[in-house]
Amino acid sequence: MRCKLWKIIVVTLAFGLSGINSLYAQTDTLLNGTWGMNVAGIETEITYDNGDYEQSTVLQELMGMTIRVRGTYTTSGDTLTMAPSHVYGGTIGLESRWLTQNELRTGLSRMGMPLPDLDQAFGALFMQNNFTYTIRGNSLSLSQPQVFTRR
């Protein structure tokens, strides 16, 4: 059951996570600010700030927890590329600080999650993802049908 819950967490977060960190990276300043979405009781909020982002996903109804992730992002044309770099441990029963992928793997392993499940689940979580995005007024659409509203 515990492994199944972690897989649900990873799938939930993966849609909004990933990117690239480059000296020549560009960012769309129209993204700057906080955007939110609530689908089926899962509240997601992403704050973009000139190439850095922080995402919070509230899974209170499903698992009674909030997952926080941060990383970097770039834009090129209508493509948003996001790369998560850290997960906040304090909201998932680990140390109350930002953890790298290796630190998260070690902490969850100590909590009893089998290594094969950890590698499968969190390898995907920390993977770079590209999204087609559009901003219209106060709406941010990421690879339809995910629509966030500016907060």
Predicted confidence (pLDDT) per residue in 9-39, tens digit: 554 554 444 333 334 468 899 999 999 999 8
pTM: predicted TM-score of the whole model, two decimal places:
0.79
Q: Where are the domains of the chain?
A: 2-150
CATH of domain 2-150: 2.40.128.50
E-strand spans in the chain? 33-39, 42-49, 52-58, 66-76, 79-88, 98-99, 129-136, 139-142, 146-150
One pLDDT digit (tens) per residue for the chain, 151 residues? 555 544 455 545 544 443 333 344 688 999 999 999 998 888 999 999 999 999 998 876 666 778 899 999 999 999 999 999 999 999 888 999 999 999 998 998 898 888 777 777 777 778 898 999 999 999 999 986 788 989 9
Per-residue confidence (pLDDT) for residue 120, from 0 to 100: 76
